[in-house]
Structure 1
Amino acid sequence: MALNFFDQFMTPTLWGIPLITVATIAPVLIISAPTSQWMTNRITTLQSQIISNSTYQLFAPLSPKSHTWTLLIVSLMIFFMIINLLGLLPYTFTPTTQLSFNMAFAVPTWLATVIIGLRTQPTHAFAHLLPESTPPLLVPILIIIETISLFIRPLALGVRLTANLTAGHLLIQLISTAVNTMMFSTPTIGLLTGILLILLSILEIAVAMIQAYVFVLLLSLYLEENS
């Protein structure tokens, strides 16, 4: 039993094994492997449709040079999406509520886009630090501001994902606690609160999918800027 509302965001262990490790490898067991059969089942067909539509939406506006990152970015989106959705099930743990977990993905991928920009077109990469037609007096200040904004990008990626999922999980637990308390004392208010809890759970399913898409969408934009 949780001692407080924030115990759900601690990394639990079972038999000495951190459950964050089990939750991280869970998507590998859920994703269906590609098959050469002409007719597939509904799950495989739905999975292929989601991946195809997401790939088109992510990479249609990007240049052909960025398409080499398709496998990595789409795999990352599916990985985060499955982890976020599994975290909504009872007695499960959501690794993406841990900032360190999200930063472990945000920092290397962001750094890779920056290195690609410095390697392929260094002049263009450094030009982003100084907008055109900048007055000479503002040049040092704008360079400092743009440099700070560049290094804040991975932090924004990790914090955005962590904050949205943490807020949703915490709100669901608060409302579910209120439902359990009021269901016997004031059944009418408890029933209305229960309906609100169901609607919030549906919203949280959408948030779990949208946040995974937003993470890789911003990453693809960073890639396009440096490619």
Structure 2
Amino acid sequence: MILSFFDQFMIPKTLGIPLILIAMMFPPMMILTTSKRMLTNRLSTLQLWFMKMFTKQLMLPINLPGHKWTSILLSLMLLLLSMNLLGLLPYTFTPTTQLSMNMALAVPMWLATVLMGLRNQPTLSLGHLLPEGTPTPLIPILIVIETISLFIRPIALGVRLTANLTAGHLLMQLISTAAFILAPTMTMIATLTFIILLLLTLLEIAVAMIQAYVFVLLLSLYLQENV
């Protein structure tokens, strides 16, 4: 039976049990809970340092009223990071390659920032639809263009995350298939292809972390405009 390259985006099952349920248990196990010890271990200290640096970098340009979003954005960052890295494990499934899940995360968060801006500072929020100093004949056209760009933001968030992860997974599937087919006949070329696959895997780990950061960073920029 000939399998499609897109079969890797289907949830694998064993004895009727989705393996994603087992795989999703690993990220919560990596986030350690507090203990009764006076000093935490190295992993907990590293996690606290990472969360502190991420929060400082993300919330520094945002006004004080927007700092209440810190826990939401940090939780979203950890969720996306765990899901993206989860898909690189064997016999697992990447939930963030599904556009429906990414849009379900992007649309409510974007809409919350817009509604908060319209409630707290409606004049300033509506002022983003018309740049200052615009000639009078161009005012209707620019308002339409800025409105369209405003509603495209959540679509861009979801599609960017989906497209980057899907393209990387497909490229890894193609190169691994080529290395497997060339192994019996052309061993040298298969070895070089396997080395390229290892380098691409390291690149995909970096892409998984960067895309999670970019998703949250863009949300923080939208929040900055409406706070």
TM range, smaller chain: over 0.9
Aligned partner of 2:93: which letter? F
TM superposition shift of 1:54: 1.0
The 3-state SS of whatever aligns with 2:134 is coil
TM superposition shift of 1:3: 1.3
TM superposition shift of 1:26: 5.3
TM superposition shift of 1:42: 2.3
Q: Which residue matches 2:138?
A: 138
1:182 corresponds to 2:172: no
Give the 5 Å matches for 1:20-169: 27-169=27-169
The CA distance in 2 between the partners of 1:68 and 1:156, in whole Å, is 25
Aligned partner of 1:178: which letter? A
**CA shift in 2, pair 1:140/1:80, >3 Å:** same
Consecutive unaligned residues of structure 1, counting only runs of 5 or more, are none
The CA distance in 1 between the partners of 2:21 and 2:66, in whole Å, is 31
Could you state the TM-score of these two structures normalised by the residue count of structure 2? 0.93
The CA distance in 2 between the partners of 1:140 and 1:167, in whole Å, is 39
The CA distance in 1 between the partners of 2:21 and 2:132, in whole Å, is 47
The CA distance in 2 between the partners of 1:98 and 1:130, in whole Å, is 35
TM superposition shift of 1:128: 0.4
The 3-state SS of whatever aligns with 2:175 is helix
In the alignment, is the contact (CA less than 8 A) between 2:12 and 2:92 conserved in 1? no
Aligned partner of 1:140: which letter? P
In the alignment, is the contact (CA less than 8 A) between 2:129 and 2:142 conserved in 1? yes
**CA shift in 2, pair 1:99/1:2, >3 Å:** farther
TM superposition shift of 1:15: 6.1
The CA distance in 2 between the partners of 1:210 and 1:195, in whole Å, is 23
The CA distance in 2 between the partners of 1:134 and 1:155, in whole Å, is 27
What is the number of equivalent residue pairs in this alignment?
Answer: 227
After alignment, is 19-28 or 170-179 more displaced?
19-28
In the alignment, is the contact (CA less than 8 A) between 1:176 and 1:194 conserved in 2? yes
In the alignment, is the contact (CA less than 8 A) between 1:130 and 1:139 conserved in 2? yes
- Alignment root-mean-square deviation, CA: 1.9
Consecutive unaligned residues of structure 2, counting only runs of 5 or more, are none
Aligned partner of 1:171: which letter? L
TM superposition shift of 1:109: 0.4
The CA distance in 1 between the partners of 2:24 and 2:108, in whole Å, is 18
Q: Give a deviation string over 1:110-167, Cα, whole Å, max 9, x none.
A: 0000010000000001000001111111111111100000000000110110011001
Q: Percent identity?
A: 62
TM superposition shift of 1:17: 6.0
Q: Give a deviation string over 1:38-82, Cα, whole Å, max 9, x none.
A: 322222122112111111111112211211100000110011001
Aligned partner of 2:182: which letter? M
